[in-house]
A = this chain, B = another copy of it.
Amino acid sequence: MLSLYFDGALSVKNMEKPIVCENEALIKVKMAGICGTDHGIAKGYIPNYKGVLGHEFIGDVTDCCIPMWVGRRVTAEINIGCGHCEFCKAGLQKHCVERNVLGIRNKNGVFSEYVTVPIENIVEIPEEISDREAIFIEPLAAALEVLKSVSIATNDKVLIVGDGRLALIIAKVLIRAVGCKLTIVGKHSEKLALLKKTNEVSTINTLLLDDFSNSFDKFNVVIEATGNPQGLALALKHVYPRGTIILKSTYGQSVYFEPSFVVVNEIRIVGSRCGSFISAIDFLKKYKTDFTYLISAEFALCDAIKAFEYSLRPDVIKVLLVF
């Protein structure tokens, strides 16, 4: 089977179809999304990762020891815990020290014709959600985790720093589920324009970073989703005393940081990561929010390297591999 493999460099190659173990399902992948973490791995952000990349996907179960799953259209939660530790027992496999992570840590990912995942990770996609809508379940779950990490009220003044995939999805979540006063700052007018175009309410303010750099405006809640080390300093500059900064970016670099500023201004900094797929599906059903306008291009799996390169273009949001 064809796969996009990484072993220090990317290559499309033929691999053995995986053998499905007990408690696993074999899934024929139909569609997969390239995300920032995939780029991070390709740049060497996760040392020693070798394997098939990819974790945002949908597909059909073709083999499983529980017959009811066979033929169903599914996606899967990406963290595979040990099952025994206190985090796994609390449903927080993402914090299991022994965890494997689909396409990220010690487990072949979904940029491949077939993938195996533990049955307990599988989530069925309801009929009313299309394939291309469903591809956003994983990043939407990460965006919704913001609302589980902190309480954001309708009268809060919220700033999102960043205009990438995750930032735009978070913006949409806040508009729909909270309806707070929202400002979003980014470097790419064409990405910000996308958000404005599909914005049904008028409470969002989109600003280019250059136009914002002399501003002293402050916010109750600042969401840092730039994916780069400059984001934290900007967030600290624009948060009110007693305000909250939610960190979503992972970029594996250290930054200079002044703890006293956080103490004197009694700021809260909250790290927030991936979230519940069930919550994401509920959101898609409840709010009928369509994220497919974020799809910039689609490629075949044999053109995966070209797709990877294309997805690095600054004007591109989401690139799909369609099998």
Contacts and interface: CB of A to CB of B under 8 A. Distances in A.
A95 interface: yes
A181 interface: no
A127 interface: no
A231 to B, nearest CB: 8
Interface in A133-168: 149
B254 A254 contact: no
A258 B254 CA distance: 4
Contacts of A87: 241
A255 B257 contact: yes
Contacts of A272: 263, 266
Contacts of A149: 266
A287 interface: no
A259 interface: yes
A249 B262 CA distance: 10
Given A87-B241, A95-B241, A241-B87, A258 B253 contact: yes
A62 to B, nearest CB: 33
A252 interface: yes
A269 interface: yes
A147 to B, nearest CB: 14
A-side interface mostly: mixed
A248 interface: yes
A150 to B, nearest CB: 9
A314 to B, nearest CB: 22
A92 interface: yes
B271 A250 contact: no
Contacts of A232: 259
What is the total number of copies of this protein in its complex? 2
Interface residues of A, number: 36
A267 B264 CA distance: 20
B271 A268 contact: yes
Contacts of A267: 271
Interface in A227-255: 229, 232, 241-242, 247-255
Given A254-B256, A256-B255, A92 B242 contact: yes
Chain B CB within 10 Å — which of A229, A247, A259, A262 has the most? Answer: A259
A50 interface: no
A242 B95 contact: yes
A265 interface: yes
Given A87-B241, A241-B87, A242-B95, A260 B264 contact: no
Interface string A269-299: 1111100000000000000000000000000
Contacts of A92: 241-242
Contact of A250 (B241, B252, B263): B263
B266 A268 contact: no
8 contacts: A95-B241, A224-B259, A249-B263, A250-B260, A254-B256, A263-B273, A266-B271, A268-B268
Given A255-B258, A262-B271, 12 more contacts: A92-B241, A95-B242, A229-B259, A247-B263, A249-B259, A253-B258, A255-B256, A257-B257, A266-B270, A266-B273, A268-B269, A268-B271
